Chains A and B, each alone.
Chain A
Amino acid sequence: MTTPVRVVRGARTDAGARPPGFRDLFLQLEYVRLVRRGVQDLRTRGRLLQYLVGTDLKRTHADTVMGQVWWLIDPFFSMAIYAILVTVVFQRSIPDAPLFLFAAILPWQWFQTSLIDATTSVTARGNLIRQIQFPKLVLPAASTIAGTITFGFGLLSLAVLYLVYPSRLSPWLLALPVIAVVQYVFTLALAVLFSGINAFYRDVQNLLRHVVRIWFYASPAIYSVAALKGSVFGIALALNPFTYLLTSYRNVAYYGQAPDWVGLASVLLISVVLLGFSIWVFKRIETGFAKIL
């Protein structure tokens, strides 16, 4: 067994023995180093992630009679509420409205719960952070993974809806995981960033609830993009990643069409860049968590 050696320095001194090549220089960039270390944090702590996700899932519906069945029921209820809102209150006639709404509300709720849970994930473990040294990046990551599993169960209720609307089923539904991956990268990027900043400024968690609510109505979840084409809101929609995500979900689950590949690719590109930035910010401020929590 080798002895672990930990050297922690306040000021960095990097001295290379041989002349560094381009690759070495690239890897020595502080940005690249921190992002790589962040990715390593997640890869080496798989077991911890697994346990954290498990406790997260248990906590959400602990002490309920129906337990995990709520994961199936929750999305149904919100879908029903919006179905009544849209068809009865706003008098919109959307064919097969429940499926139309469900295809967008389900992924939205995945985003919303993951992001809100993740944002408080660091502050909620303040006690532990002051007592054990571990990579804090696992905390927001675990929250988003737990949200993803809940979303997976929600998809089962989508399957139930197809019993009612069998004609809406199409092979394009197989593309749904691709859309979900793009959404996950985007969610993780925001989750990491917000959870880190929230440790210093609790305003983030308060503000986020309102922003997410506005964001929901600014996204084509209970209406379609076509309804707003040409208006001022059209521009806002074009800049909203969820326009492309929700449109794609609806394409594959409701219209039986191909997802918006170009839109998805753009969102993925932006999300990957944002994720790199978020991990970099998180790793930079991570060392301060123990002091302020």
Chain B
Amino acid sequence: MPHATYAIDVEELGIRYNLHLTRRTTIKGSLAEWVGRRQRDEHFFWALRHISFRIAHGESIGVLGPNGAGKSTLLLALAGILAPDEGSVRIHGRVSSLLTLGAGFEMEVSGRENIALLGAFMGIRHRVMQELTPSIIEFADIGPFIDAPVRTYSSGMRARLGFSIATAIAPDILLLDEVLGTGDEEFRARSQARIHDLVERARAIVLVTHDLNSVAEYCSRSLLMEKGRVLFEGPTPETVEFYKDRIRKRKAQIAEQEAARAAAGLPQPVALDELPGEPASRQVEPPQPGTLESLASPGQSG
């Protein structure tokens, strides 16, 4: 095996979305589209393209970039949930993404049955799952609710149980979207401890984050992504510096444009939601609880 030394080997990865096949698709719309226009290329949005990188065993890598850069799509591709439309993704080891927080529960059955169900979905052996169940229940710490239908849970309880299941098995390769924090102070402390434990045991980590201050703490190397491409790859301090520099330049650019507008007597833009040049249909990432919204997210520039 030529690439066995790498935990993750991504080559020329491309993932595209068909803009005309979304959840609102109907046959009527499709037919109209099909009859109307036949140039198919403009129907695609490349969420990722020409992405190549390797992660050695024992390495942690940070993924930085503005909203809509394709970071989450990259994690989905590494987790095997999205299949590449171009290029290849090779994974050596058991991957786990901690994306599974609370969603995907079966509402009508109990928490205990949901543990078994989600374990089976994740492909964990029945016997292993049976052994793990007591510790999952203990960690979630939701008392007698574990035998009540999940429908009756508070959102905090759902998140606790989801986190507890998702982190029950230490993976070889850990994919993290933001250093997570859920629930109250006490649970947050315990979940942070558990993530640190997983981080220590994992052979490779990919961490997507907006927190430029703490990324160096976890990752020696980082990628900067923008518009589905890797813009910069290098040691974390350098990548962070490059990124900060880029944000400063952008801000200066915008200030300049505004000044020009004011000078020309044009009306001021009401709200500045997006930087120029960003894809119009950006994916909105849910707000991450308990993390710093640092200057890393340019959407917040105010």
A51 to chain B, nearest CB (A): 5
A6–B109 contact, CB under 8 A? no
A214 within 8 Å of B (CB atoms): no
Interface hit among A32-40, A55-63, A78-86, A231-239: A55-63
A54–B113 contact, CB under 8 A? yes
Q: Which residues of A contact B117 (CB under 8 A)?
A: 48, 51-52, 55
Fill in one digit per residue for A10-37: 1 if any B CB lies within 8 Å of its CB, else 0.
Answer: 1100000000000000000000000000
Closest to B93 in A: A3
A91 within 8 Å of B (CB atoms): no
Q: Which residues of A contact B188 (CB under 8 A)?
A: none
Interface hit among B23-31, B132-140, B232-240, B284-292: B23-31
A248 to chain B, nearest CB (A): 35
Q: CA–CA, A130 to B82, complex, Å?
A: 8
Closest to B104 in A: A128
B84–A202 contact, CB under 8 A? no
A5 within 8 Å of B (CB atoms): yes
Q: Which residues of B contact A131 (CB under 8 A)?
A: 81, 97, 99-100, 103-104
Q: Which residues of B contact A5 (CB under 8 A)?
A: 1, 90-92
Q: Which of B28, B76, B91, B92 contacts A290 (CB 8 A)?
A: B76
Name the residue in B1, B103, B106 with the highest tally of chain A Cβ atoms < 10 Å from its Cβ: B106
Q: Which of A4, A8, A201, A203 contacts B83 (CB 8 A)?
A: A8
A87 within 8 Å of B (CB atoms): no
B166 to chain A, nearest CB (A): 9
Fill in one digit per residue for A197-230: 1 if any B CB lies within 8 Å of its CB, else 0.
Answer: 0001111000000000000000000000000000
Q: CA–CA, A293 to B17, complex, Å?
A: 12
Some 29 contacts from A to B, beta carbons below 8 A apart, are A3-B94, A3-B172, A6-B80, A6-B95, A8-B91, A10-B83, A10-B84, A11-B86, A48-B120, A51-B113, A52-B117, A54-B109, A54-B113, A55-B108, A55-B113, A58-B108, A59-B109, A125-B104, A127-B103, A127-B104, A130-B81, A131-B99, A132-B100, A132-B104, A134-B121, A201-B25, A203-B26, A290-B81, A291-B21
Interface residues of A (CB under 8 A from B): 3-11, 45, 47-48, 51-52, 54-55, 58-59, 62, 125, 127-134, 200-203, 287-288, 290-293
